[in-house]
Amino acid sequence: MIPVNLSELPAYMRDENEAWLLLERLRWDGRPVCPHCGTIDEKHYFIASRSGERRTKAGNVTYRRLWKCREKNCRKNFSVLIGTVFEDSRVPVSKWLFALYLFAAAKNAISAKELERQLGVSYPTAWFMLHRLRAAAGRDPLAPLMSGTVVVDETFIGGKPKNKHQQGRNKGPTGPAARAAARASGVSLHGGRGGGNAHMQPVVALIDRETGEVRTKVVTDVNSDTLRATIAEQVDMPETVLYTDGAKAYRPIGRDMAGHAWVDHGSAEYVRGEVTTNQCESFFAQFKRSLDGTYHAVSRKHLHRYADEFAMRWNTSDLKDAQRVQAIVDMTIGKRLTYRPLTQGC
């Protein structure tokens, strides 16, 4: 049993030890998996502490629950944190679980400021925890390629507010392809009189027309080569029909696909039979509303993490909160995020 929502959580973890047990249930469901060799065995040895209390090298009490692998070529120790985004974190597991439930339940995301308040942790800790959860929400690199019909569109996300006043002074957009694509996709560049998007970051969304699954990619520009590389990374091109707006950058890409149909936003055409990019527009609208409402300012360097977070919210919107918590825990596996790459522009 796992808590169905945040209000039930305290009853399931009255202390830190129960928090560890709960995380083990969420991750393993009674069948611990050795993160070193991948062996799944309900009979891995649990290493009880002799004194009933476990201490770190520094002498502090720790609630870390240690297991030993039964596989004879491995025999290594592990805990439920190893190989997940929680590894090497000094934040108590009970706080991680609170953060996880808050993160999963927040329709429009949760800010580090709010997490700081709710958990009683420092702002940098709250900020880092959220980035780790976003890293978990990131796409599985082994996910199969999309096929069938895939809708692709791009938008531009603004820079930091302190930069916004400068946008009016820009000479103009970064390039003709960016300008054409932005115009064709009906995206407002709201960059002041100059209409410049030098401070704006293009984001591409790819949506599987049948399942509704969205994947995103923050890109440097929206020229044909960049869009092609983005599509090729996610889509089985010869097996897929592409739906886009009328941006010319998509035309040569479409020739390498099973088909390509587009609506001409320039002539106010948004739906033609089956063809539309409305799903992408809804995704972008929701993404931008949440960015404006919750985060106010998102640096370019971290934009891809927010895009991943919103893709996860979109892709799990049919799930109940507890199911989303479970989905995120499943996604935490195999993804680690340490402070260094996070602050060095990963």
The interface region with Zn ion, picked from 10-18, 19-27, 34-42, 150-158 by CB under 5 A, is 34-42
> Exposed, middle or buried by CB within 10 Å (0-12, 13-18, 19+), for 211?
exposed
Q: Which residue has the tokens 């995020």?
A: 337
Cβ 326 to Zn ion, closest distance in Å?
24
Cβ 62 to Zn ion, closest distance in Å?
22
φ, ψ at 279 (rounded to 5°): -60, -45
Q: Which of 23, 33, 69, 129 binds Zn ion (CB under 5 A)?
A: 69
The interface region with Zn ion, picked from 35-43, 109-117, 188-196, 314-322 by CB under 5 A, is 35-43
Residue 41 found at the interface with Zn ion (CB under 5 A): no
Which residues, 6 or more positions from 268, have their beta carbon under 8 angstroms from its beta carbon?
A: none
Q: Which residue has the tokens 């003709």?
A: 176
The interface region with Zn ion, picked from 74-82, 182-190, 229-237, 281-289 by CB under 5 A, is 74-82
Complete DSSP assignment for 137-198:
HSPPTTPPPEEEEEEEEEEEE---HHHHHHHTTS-S-S-HHHHHHHHHTT-----TTTT--T
Quick check: helix, strand or coil at residue 281? helix
Q: Which of 13, 26, 33, 34 binds Zn ion (CB under 5 A)?
A: 34
Sign of CA dihedral 282, 285, 289, 295: positive
Report the C-alpha gap between 53 and 223 in whole angstroms.
Answer: 60
**C-beta closer to Zn ion: residue 44 or 131:** 44
Q: Which residue has the tokens 């040895």?
A: 45
Question: Count residues contacting Zn ion (CB under 5 A)?
Answer: 7
Cβ 75 to Zn ion, closest distance in Å?
7
φ, ψ at 71 (rounded to 5°): -65, 125
**C-beta closer to Zn ion: residue 34 or 133:** 34
**C-beta closer to Zn ion: residue 41 or 321:** 41
**C-beta closer to Zn ion: residue 64 or 300:** 64
Q: Which of 71, 87, 213, 321 binds Zn ion (CB under 5 A)?
A: 71
**C-beta closer to Zn ion: residue 35 or 254:** 35
Residue 37 found at the interface with Zn ion (CB under 5 A): yes
The interface region with Zn ion, picked from 32-40, 49-57, 139-147, 336-344 by CB under 5 A, is 32-40
Report the C-alpha gap between 193 and 252 in whole angstroms.
Answer: 33
Q: Which of 2, 21, 74, 333 binds Zn ion (CB under 5 A)?
A: 74
Amino acid identity of residue 230, one-letter, is: T
**Contact (CB, 8 A) for 81 and 327:** no
Measured CA angle at 150 (ends 230, 293), to 5 deg:
75
**C-beta closer to Zn ion: residue 24 or 116:** 24
**C-beta closer to Zn ion: residue 176 or 334:** 334
Q: Which of 36, 64, 113, 288 binds Zn ion (CB under 5 A)?
A: 36
Cβ 147 to Zn ion, closest distance in Å?
36
Cβ 333 to Zn ion, closest distance in Å?
15
Token digits of residue 229: 């590389």
**C-beta closer to Zn ion: residue 36 or 179:** 36
The interface region with Zn ion, picked from 38-46, 141-149, 214-222, 253-261 by CB under 5 A, is 38-46
**C-beta closer to Zn ion: residue 39 or 223:** 39
**Contact (CB, 8 A) for 305 and 135:** yes
Give the footprint of Zn ion on this chain (CB under 5 A).
34, 36-37, 39, 69, 71, 74
